[in-house]
Each structure stands twice: as structure tokens, then as C-alpha cells.
Amino acid sequence: MAAIDLYADSFFQDPYPTYQKMRELKTCYWLENHDRTSFEGVWMVSRYADVVKVLRSSHGTSVDVKRLVPEPQWHAFDYTLLFTDPPDHTRLRALISAPFSNAGVRQLEESITRIVDQLIDNLLQRGKVDFLQEFALPLPIKVISNLLGTPPEDSGLLRQWTSDLTRGLDSTVVNAEFLKNQGTVLKDMSQYFADLLGRAQQPSGTIIEQLVADTNAAACSPREALAHCLLLLLAGHETTIGMLCGGMFTLLSNPAEMEKLRHNPGLMDGAIDEMLRYETPFQRATFRVVTAPLLLSSQEIQRGERVSAVMGSANRDPLQFPHPDRFDISRKPNAHVSFGLGIHRCLGEKLARIEGRIAFTRLLQRLPAIELLDANPRWQRRSLFRALEALPLRLG
């Protein structure tokens, strides 16, 4: 079997052949990896059944990074839901769950549709566009900014910050420069949100207003409120960018499926699921530390070791998905794990789905002729979030 190389350019452009090699190993794949913890590596879990087991395990694993690094090295992001165990995780998640419930996201449909139509109006004024820059990036940042309560004029700055932050979180490509930049970005973002949270009056009906009320009521600490802002900004749009851009590229690369969807809008929800499965925006979960021996396939992961669930691989596992490399918007069942599982399942899942449904419905309705200008666009050199560098299109 050819060597597995998670640092090769070919992996970033098309990770799925490498994932297949990982799934064919007798054990999980050991990735030698150094970060601010004392660990020297992490077990990469790639088979669907094993990924499900890891994602659902809350009693035998921990995500609390503060247990692994000295307190002087803790930073604001370490207090987010991504790195918090119960009971704190349960308490903190409940504080911000309402805006992301079915009822909460239904209230956003009108405003999301308005933003989508404004962006399409701008596209229609030009014959050639970069779909990433002119649609996939601005839509989710506008939506999450409105929800949080950040000034609209700050959206460009917030987008740049999150891009820099995610590079520092991507342990496969991280280097000293990325980590230094991440530290600067976290400091700037923390000060930015601390200023917003400290204002005498916040925008009505926003998450920031609610977090201030929760802090005043001692339901959460100021540090936890700040962490919520950081996480919601990052998670609230980074994966949605990948879904929109990766989904559009995949549709255009499979014209028969695109036409099927154009003529049968009732397939849209299934199409969104298939986009998320086929090009998983969040390729792997943040690591978990095993607190009790964990059996994955025939391998026992020892207490104190780290595991990372590779959702992008699980979503292409032929034992779960027949013909996994085929894009099929009618695929049933489609139990993909793109939003995770268990207590750490993505809080913003419903929001991402409604953004995708409205966006692709309006795009297909209003843009009857779309053509790829580059059939082989470059993917960003990132292993955590999967996203294109650009998606140039011609609008007929």
C-alpha cells in the first residue's frame, strides 16, 4: 500500500483516496503531531462505525484542553463549547440554544431570503463572478453578524479574523507563524467582543444582548460569554461557506443531478444532505482525550491518548454509503456525520440547513444558466475545514 501523507498537496486537493487507505489499515492511523499539549500525536479514526462511536462517547472521552496545558497557556477559545465537558457544556449550550432551534431559525427565513436575493442581484450585474468571494463568503457572515449583533461594517474584519484563527486550529498544517498570528488574532477578537459586551446598551434581540443578561444574572461568567461570541462567529459561518461553495461546485460538476434538482425543488433537503456528505465542510472533529480504554474496530485506544474523528472519511465509507464517490441527491438513507453526533453535535445545524436551502433554491430559480470557468479549481491547503480558494463562474 502506498504511504499515507497528510501533508502532500495531492491530499489537500483530493483527500478521499488517502482516507480510503486509512480505512483499509488494520488499526487507526497514527499521526505524529506536536502542539501546545504534551502529546506527540493523535489517532485518526476514519471508519464510519468508529467515527460514530467516538462522536457519541461523552463518558469515556474529554475535550477539555485546559486539562492538558499549563494555565498560563490557556486562551479565550479554550472556554468554548468545543473544548468543554459536562456539566459546564450542558449549562453553556442551553444559554444560546434558542436562536438555533426550529422556531428560532424560522424567524430568520425572511431576512436570509432578502440577503440571498441582494447577493444574486449583484451577481446578475456581471457576466463572470467568483462565487466564493461574491456569494459564499458574504451570506453566512451577514447572517451570523445580524444574529450576534455585531456592526455590519465590521463583517470584513471579522471574516479575516476567523480565517486566521482557523489556520491556527488546523494541527495538520499549523506552524510557528500560524500560531503566533492566532495568538494576535485571539487577543484582538477578545478585545473586540469584550468591548461589545461591555457597552451600556446592545442591539435588541441579539445573542450579545442575551449573553450580557446571562452574565448579569450569573448564569455564565464574562469569560464564558466572550467564548460564546468567538465560537459562534467561527462556527456560524466557516462551515456554511464550505457547504455553499463546495455544494455549488459539486452541482456544476454533476449537471444531471443539478438539472434534476432544478426541475424538482422538493429534492432540496436531500440535496443539501448529499452536498454535506460528499464534500464535508468540517473534515474532522477536534481531538478528544480518552479517559477510559476505547475499543475501535480491533484496536484498543489507551487511557490518556488522543483521537480525532475524521468525518470526511466516514462520509465516504462504502460500508455505510453504497457507491460513496457518486454524488446522488436522491440518496436514501443518508446518515452522514457532517454535523457531528452526541452532545457536541453542531449547535448551528438548523441554521446552516436553512441557509443552504434558501440559497440554492433562489440560485437555481434566478440563474438558469451557470457555467464553471475552471473545472479543476484549487482547494485551500487546510485539513480541518474544506474550502475552495476560488470558484469562478460564468452566468448566462
Task: Put the strands of the sheet holding 29-32 in their side by side order.
Answer: 29-32, 41-45, 306-309, 288-290, 61-62
* Residue range 182-186: mean pLDDT, rounded: 82
- Confirm whether 119 is domain-assigned: yes
DSSP state of 282: B
Check: CB of residue 165 under 8 Å from CB of residue 82.
no
Residues contacting 182, CB < 8 A, separation 6+ = 164, 165, 167, 168, 169
Residues contacting 70, CB < 8 A, separation 6+ = none
Q: Which residues pair with 130 in a beta bridge?
A: 392
- pLDDT tens-digit map of 156-167: 899 888 877 776
C-alpha cell at 131: 462565487
Task: Could you list the beta-strand ranges (E) of 14-148.
Answer: 29-32, 41-45, 61-62, 128-130
Residues contacting 239, CB < 8 A, separation 6+ = 281, 282, 346, 348, 352, 385
207 phi and psi angles, rounded to 5 deg? -65, -40
For cell 484549487, what's the residue?
378
Q: DSSP 3-state assignment of 152?
A: helix
Cis peptide leading into 151, omega within 30 of 0?
no
CATH number at residue 111: 1.10.630.10
Tell me how far apart the alpha carbons of residues 102 and 167 are, in angstroms, rounded to a whole number.
32
Check: CB of residue 303 under 8 Å from CB of residue 32.
no
- Model confidence at 62, pLDDT cuts 50, 70, 90, reads very high
Among residues 81, 386, 342, 87, the alpha carbon closest in space to that of 229 is found at 81
Is the pLDDT at 175 greater than 70? The verdict is no
Tell me how far apart the alpha carbons of residues 215 and 192 are, in angstroms, rounded to a whole number.
17
Q: Which residues pair with 44 in a beta bridge?
A: 29, 308
Domain count, the chain: 1
- Confirm whether 319 is domain-assigned: yes
- pLDDT tens-digit map of 17-42: 999 999 999 999 999 876 767 678 89
The CA-based angle 282-16-248, given to 5 degrees, is: 60
C-alpha cell at 336: 452522514
* Residue range 340-348: mean pLDDT, rounded: 95
Is the pLDDT at 340 greater than 60? The verdict is yes
pLDDT of residue 178: 64
- Confirm whether 1 is domain-assigned: no
pLDDT of residue 165: 77
Is the pLDDT at 176 greater than 70? The verdict is no
Lowest mean pLDDT among 37-41, 138-142, 311-315: 37-41
Chain center to CA of 39? 25
For cell 476514519, what's the residue?
46
Q: Mean pLDDT, the chain, as a whole number?
A: 92
Is the pLDDT at 323 greater than 80? The verdict is yes
pLDDT of residue 3: 84
Q: Which residues pair with 290 in a beta bridge?
A: 61
Structural domain range at position 54 = 9-395
Please classify residue 220 by burial: count the beta carbons closer than 10 Å to its beta carbon, then call 0-12 exposed, 13-18 middle and 19+ buried: buried
- pLDDT tens-digit map of 191-240: 999 999 999 888 899 999 999 999 999 999 999 999 999 999 988 788 99
- Confirm whether 3 is domain-assigned: no
C-alpha cell at 50: 468508529
- Confirm whether 305 is domain-assigned: yes
- Confirm whether 387 is domain-assigned: yes
